[in-house]
Amino acid sequence: MSGPRFEPVRTVRAYERIVEQIEEAIESGALCPGQRLPSERDLMGQFSVSRSTVREALRVLQARGLVRSRPGDPHGAEVQPFTPAELRKSMTMLARVDGLSLGELVQFRMVLDASAGLLAARLRTDEHLAEMEAAVAAMRAAAEAGHDEFSAAEVAFHDAVARAGRNKLVQICAEVVRSIVCDLAADEIAAAPGRAALTRRSIRRHEEVLAAVRAGDGPLAARLSRQSVYDHYAGHVPAGERPALRALLE
């Protein structure tokens, strides 16, 4: 009695098919960042749907960061270069909805920064080293200035290390997690007592990381990076979560 095997069908909305087609064109490179989509009124002709349907599809694509439309632009929606903005949004959402603790985020940063340091020590070029040195110099210069300048320089350093590690995934995730952690903890840290001492220690730590990277000592760079993140944030993590962080310090 068993006839041919039938598969369950999924009704797929018109706007989804449009999203699929445009998405595919972008992913495959047929549409490059900077190029323009036809106008909504053109698209409704090409896809044989109404403008509402085209617009819903464009909203989805825009929500994914693939295109951007601007009222009055006579050239249609513009294909955007990939940015980690969406990745960041997903992770931020995860952090808020799933109730991710600061501890977990800091822990993840320790993992990522350590990996970046490890890789950077093996793969860095002189150019990368120069960037890191410049960033550390900027940190020293900004030590007496405001907290904003200092952390900008710090971010530049971590970014240089991540770039030197040559792993875009590590790089982007580190960037995303860093910005989330900063959002969560910035006020607290800026207002923390003994900021000057913390700043000095932070500079020393970064100099040590730089030295390890320059020496090509990956494991050392990794350990120092982890320690640096830990020192910076451990005070703001609930005491109960700290053992889990220390687990990463071998």
Partner DNA sequence: ATAGTGCACTGGTCCGACCAGTAGGCTGCA
Partner DNA sequence: TGCAGCCTACTGGTCGGACCAGTGCACTAT
In this structure, the number of other CB atoms found within 10 A of the CB of residue 100 comes to 17
Whichever of 111 and 142 has its CB closer to its own copies, that residue is 111
The binder of its own copies chosen from 54, 108, 150, 221 (CB under 8 A): 108
In this structure, the number of other CB atoms found within 10 A of the CB of residue 40 comes to 16
Which residue, chain included where needed, has tokens 């800026």? 190
The binder of DNA chosen from 6, 9, 48, 238 (CB under 7 A): 48
Tokens of 35: 């190029």
Residues in Cβ contact with 27 at an 8 Å cutoff, skipping those fewer than 6 apart:
none
Q: Are 43 and 2 in contact (CB under 8 A)?
A: no
Piece of 53-61, 80-88, 185-193, 195-203 that binds DNA (CB under 7 A): 53-61
The binder of DNA chosen from 4, 29, 72, 240 (CB under 7 A): 72
**Exposed, middle or buried by CB within 10 Å (0-12, 13-18, 19+), for 60?**
middle
Whichever of 93 and 137 has its CB closer to its own copies, that residue is 93
> If you write DSSP's letter for every residue of 75-88 in order, what string do you get?
T-PEEPPP-THHHH
Q: Does 246 bind DNA (CB under 7 A)?
A: no
Q: Does 119 bind its own copies (CB under 8 A)?
A: yes
Binding site for its own copies (CB under 8 A): 11, 15, 26-27, 52, 55-56, 59-60, 62-64, 66, 71, 82, 84, 86-87, 89-91, 93-94, 96-98, 100, 104-105, 107-108, 111-112, 115, 118-119, 122-123, 166-170, 172-173, 177, 218-219, 244, 247-248, 250
